[in-house]
Amino acid sequence: MTEELNPITGEPVIIAPQREDRPNVYDGAPCPFCPGAESETPPEICRDGDPWRIRVFPNRYPPTEHSEIIVESALHDDTFDALAPDHAQRVVELYFERYRALAAKTAYVCIFKNQGRKAGASIPHLHSQLVGTSFVPARITRESDAFAEAPNCPLCDLREHPLIAESENYRWIAPRGARLAYQQWIVPKAHEHVIDEAHELAALLQSSVRAMSAISDSFNWAFVVFPGEPRGHWYLELLPRIAAVAGFELGTGTFVNTVTGVDVARLFSRIEKMPWTY
């Protein structure tokens, strides 16, 4: 894998032709994440449970040299919302642990999930990924700069954004200015740039997966973090995948969203009535 720069803006692009070789389980390849296929993956970094219920290993078809996979269940057809609460929490704790390990040797680490074909997954078996890059991606730089220049942190005061639900430490919102239909953010209430509260976050992620399942069988989520920018406020973006990103969006970077945040919050808070008892 190598990096090339956009000739106009200088923004980096990762060139990783070896990713073309990865198996597509949707097209009939055997699942390399199922129990019994452990030898199909690179040596494990860690596992949870005996027999295992979570496995972490380097990506065999990595987009960058610091790319890891977290297989989140031994069951091929499991879904994140169906995990026992302590199991989902352990997955989120592993996000944080592997994030810290990779952040120590890279400029930026993205923790993300591709679930379903329309979200870019090639393997349906429940998993998430971490990709560490040698550069800070353009979106992160742009948002870091915006936080640094804002008179007040735009994520500390979310009164203008439709609220789906909240826990003691997080707000789950359908933000104004969302690029895609049914986009949500989970935002920590405290302005901190460490990420460490896993219990409530896992429960909110499970709630969001249940709500998004009513809209699409495919979704992405990604942590958006701002290491090195104390005015940055991390959040998690969740995107059910419905329509393909089309010519206008690709040609301009401007998105046409067909669903308002008010409607998303109304629908999702009705689907997912959460008994928040902490």
Does residue 199 belong to the site contacting Zn ion (CB under 5 A)?
no
**CA neighbor of 115 nearest in space, from 229, 218, 252:** 218
| Binding positions for Zn ion, 22-81, rule CB under 5 A | 31, 33-34, 76
Does residue 233 belong to the site contacting Zn ion (CB under 5 A)?
yes
Give strand pairing partners of 164: none
Does residue 156 belong to the site contacting Zn ion (CB under 5 A)?
yes
Please work out, in degrees rounded to the nearest 5, the angle formed at the alpha carbon of residue 203 by the alpha carbons of 234 and 81: 115
Interacting stretch for Zn ion, rule CB under 5 A, among 45-53, 127-135, 162-170, 228-236? 228-236
From residue 82 to residue 111, the character string flagging contacts with Zn ion as x (rule: CB under 5 A) and all else as - is ------------------------------
Rounded Cα gap, residues 102 and 109, in angstroms: 7
Q: Is the peptide bond before 51 cis (omega within 30 degrees of 0)?
A: yes
277 exposure class (CB count in 10 Å sphere: 0-12, 13-18, 19+): exposed
Among 191, 193, 199, 266, binds Zn ion (CB under 5 A): 191
Interacting stretch for Zn ion, rule CB under 5 A, among 56-64, 100-108, 185-193, 259-267? 185-193
The DSSP secondary structure of 125-172, one letter per residue, reads: SSEEEEEEESS--HHHHHHHHHHHH-SS-TTT--TTS-EEEE-SSEEE
Does residue 187 belong to the site contacting Zn ion (CB under 5 A)?
no
- Closer residue to Zn ion, CB minimum distance, 186 or 215: 186
Interacting stretch for Zn ion, rule CB under 5 A, among 90-98, 191-199, 209-217, 239-247? 191-199
From residue 118 to residue 147, the character string flagging contacts with Zn ion as x (rule: CB under 5 A) and all else as - is -------x----------------------
- Closer residue to Zn ion, CB minimum distance, 25 or 238: 25
Tracing tokens 């049914």 back to the chain, one arrives at 182
Structure tokens at 48: 């949870």
Q: Residue 154: helix, strand or coil by DSSP?
A: coil
Give strand pairing partners of 46: 56
| Binding footprint of Zn ion on the chain (CB under 5 A) | 31, 33-34, 76, 125, 153, 155-156, 191, 233
